[in-house]
């Protein structure tokens, strides 16, 4: 069992500016939590506070309901995997994994058993006598993970473990980490700046920005109901399209917005707290704009760039109002540059954010695929 609870955790390096301004988070046993956010938002700092490498400036950190604020890393029952792997360069793979165990006084047989077990899970059995410098990047990464596994920690901490790998290896290792999580039933906190990594790995994703948690939830929740503009644009690729507008009519079931070009747009959101005349931002994802007239809300524009992905293509379109948006189109249909494109979207697909960037609750998120298209 391991349950981690962060209560109003704060960090300040200089005593004046808060790098982390009161983080609240519950991590359940066996949960895979991904901390994601742009570079410099405090993810690593938070992870290092969990590990005990960085002092906690305020608030409480509890592991299994015991306050561990002032415990050194070794006594917290954590294991950390660093972005740079941090393998001991002068020890071979076996010794790298055995080092921490020996310190804790495990018997030779026990150490051997654990290392063999971890090595077979990670398929590094044949590398045990090599030095780190004789390994490839991917192999080093496995050894670093192996070193964490043999400790049998309550909590695994990963700090951007894949960022030093090339793209193909990254995808493969990502799958293996997911599998490892399932097989070991481990509790994991994983830091990344890559939203795709976050979406694919996390049971729970915590989006951070400027030392605050912007939103925490399942991947689908974040995708369907981003709490604010930051999360909306951070999660999902390509970035959500944003259109400025003014509230024309507001109710608990529908919001009408006058867009910049004068077009009236209806969105199915709970707008009971909106007042007519408020500035709002309307968001629509590329995949929810269809190249047909099935949706209730219509747009017209000219195609000025096409990105082919094979099964789909992204069409970069300039609307008649001069606004640039991205549309996901059928990849096997030819599109010509300069061609006029008619698009539509259902009213349920829109996200609307108030002037502070907070989202209005969407009423019917979910299956919005066009039947054609």
Partner 1 sequence: MQHKATRYAGSAFTHVILAGYSILALFPIVLIAINAFKDRASIFDSPLSLPNSESWSLIGFEKAMKNAHFFSFFGNSMIVTVTSLFFILLFGAMAAWALSEYKFRGSRWLLAFFAFGIMVPIRLGTVSILQIMVSLNLVNTLTALVLVYIAQGLPLAIMILSEFMQQLPKELKEAARCDGVGEFKIFFQVILPLIRPAVATVAVFTMVPIWNDLWFPLILAPGEETQTITLGVQQFIGQYATDWNAVLASLSLAVLPVLVLYMFFSRQLIRGITAGAVK
Ligand X SMILES: Nc1ncnc2c1ncn2[C@@H]1O[C@H](COP(=O)(O)OP(=O)(O)O)[C@@H](O)[C@H]1O
Q: Which residue, 157 or 317, is less far from ligand X as judged by CB?
A: 157
By CB under 6 A, is residue 42 in contact with ligand X?
Answer: yes
Pick the stretch among 42-50, 179-187, 218-226, 342-350 that binds ligand X (CB under 6 A).
Answer: 42-50
CB of 53 to partner 1, least distance (A): 5
What string of DSSP letters covers 355-372?
Answer: TTSBBPEESS-S----S-
17 binds ligand X (CB under 6 A): no
Tell me the C-alpha to C-alpha distance, in Å, between residue 24 and each of 11, 59, 166, 297. 13, 9, 34, 39
Choose the stretch contacting partner 1; rule: CB under 8 A; options: 31-39, 49-57, 199-207, 255-263: 49-57
Residue 47 in tokens: 């992870």
For ligand X, the closer of residues 230 and 360 by Cβ is 230
Q: Which is nearer to ligand X, 61 or 286 (CB)?
A: 61
Distance between the two ends of the chain, CA-based, in angstroms? 48
Q: Is residue 139 at the binding interface for ligand X, with CB under 6 A as the rule?
A: no
Q: Is 84 in the site for ligand X (CB under 6 A)?
A: no
- At 64 the three-state DSSP class reads coil
Most distant CA pair in the chain, distance: 76
Give yes or no for residue 55 binding ligand X (CB under 6 A): no
Judged by CB under 8 A, which of 40, 88, 277, 279 binds partner 1?
Answer: 88
Q: Which of 6, 31, 45, 51 binds partner 1 (CB under 8 A)?
A: 51
Residue 82 interacting partner from ligand X, Mg ion, partner 1, none (CB closer than 5 to 8 Å by kind) = partner 1
Taking Cα atoms as reference points, which of 269, 290, 240 lies closest to residue 364?
Answer: 269
Contact residue for partner 1 among 40, 72, 137, 277 (CB under 8 A):
72
Query: Are 31 and 4 in contact, with CB atoms under 8 Å apart?
Result: no
Residue number, 19 or 201, with CB nearest to ligand X: 19
Q: Single out the residue of 137, 118, 117, 126 nearest to residue 92, CA to CA.
A: 126
Find the shortest distance in angstroms from Cβ 17 to Mg ion.
Answer: 18
From 72-80, 204-212, 330-338, 352-360, span contacting partner 1 (CB under 8 A): 72-80
Strand partners, 242: 283
Contact status, residue 61 vs residue 71, Cβ threshold 8 Å: no
Around 302, how many Cα atoms within 13 Å sit in the side-chain half-sphere? 7
Rounded Cα gap, residues 245 and 282, in angstroms: 7
C-alpha to C-alpha distances, 15 to 10, 11, 18, 20, 56, nearest whole angstrom = 11, 9, 8, 12, 12
Hey, what are 115's tokens? 């290392």
Q: Which of 5, 28, 99, 238: binder of partner 1 (CB under 8 A)?
A: 99
Tell me, by CB under 6 A, how many residues bind ligand X. 10
Can residue 161 be called a binding residue for ligand X (CB under 6 A)? no
Ramachandran quadrant class, 206 (left: phi over 0; alpha: psi -120 to 50; beta: rest): beta
202 binds ligand X (CB under 6 A): no
Cβ atoms of 299 and 319 within 8 Å: the answer is yes
Pick the binder of ligand X from 13, 252, 277, 342 (CB under 6 A).
Answer: 13
Shortest spacing between CB 86 and partner 1, in angstroms: 4
Cis, peptide link before residue 265, omega less than 30° from 0: no
Q: How far is the CB of 54 from ligand X (least distance, A)?
A: 8
Contact residues: ligand X, CB under 6 A: 13, 19, 37, 39-45
Contact residues: partner 1, CB under 8 A: 51-53, 72-75, 78-80, 82-84, 86-90, 99-100, 103-104, 133, 147, 151
């Amino acid at each position: 069992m391991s349950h981690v609870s962060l209560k109003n955790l704060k960090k300040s390096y200089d005593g004046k500016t808060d790098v982390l301004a009161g983080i609240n988070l519950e991590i359940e046993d066996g949960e895979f939590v991904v901390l994601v956010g742009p570079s410099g938002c405090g993810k690593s700092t938070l992870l290092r506070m969990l590990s005990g490498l960085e002092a906690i400036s305020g608030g409480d950190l509890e592991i299994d309901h015991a306050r561990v604020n002032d415990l050194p890393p070794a006594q917290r029952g954590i294991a950390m995997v660093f972005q740079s792997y941090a393998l001991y360069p002068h020890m071979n793979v076996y010794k790298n994994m055995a080092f921490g165990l020996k310190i804790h006084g495990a018997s030779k047989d026990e150490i051997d058993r654990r290392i063999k077990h971890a090595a077979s899970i990670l398929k590094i059995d044949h590398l045990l006598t090599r030095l780190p410098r004789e390994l490839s990047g991917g192999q080093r990464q496995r050894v670093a993970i192996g070193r964490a596994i043999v400790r049998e920690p309550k909590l695994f901490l990963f700090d951007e473990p894949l960022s030093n790998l090339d793209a193909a290896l990254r995808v493969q290792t990502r799958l293996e980490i997911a599998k490892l999580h399932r097989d070991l039933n481990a509790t994991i906190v994983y830091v990344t700046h890559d939203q795709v990594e976050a979406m694919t790995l996390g049971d729970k994703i915590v989006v951070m920005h400027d030392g605050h948690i912007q939103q925490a939830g399942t991947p689908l929740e974040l995708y369907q109901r981003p709490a604010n503009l930051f999360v909306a644009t951070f999660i999902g690729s390509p970035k959500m399209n944003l259109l400025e507008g003014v509230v024309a009519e507001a109710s608990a079931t529908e919001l009408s917005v006058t867009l910049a070009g004068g077009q009236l747009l209806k969105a199915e959101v709970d707008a009971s707290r909106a007042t007519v005349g408020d500035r709002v931002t309307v968001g629509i994802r590329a995949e929810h704009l269809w190249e047909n007239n099935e949706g209730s809300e219509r747009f017209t524009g000219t195609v000025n760039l096409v990105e082919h992905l094979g099964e789909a293509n992204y069409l970069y379109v300039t609307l008649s109002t001069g606004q640039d948006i991205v549309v996901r189109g059928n990849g096997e249909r030819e599109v010509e540059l300069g061609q006029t494109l008619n698009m539509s979207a259902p009213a349920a697909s829109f996200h609307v954010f108030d002037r502070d960037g907070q989202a209005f609750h969407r009423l019917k998120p979910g299956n919005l695929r066009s039947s054609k298209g």
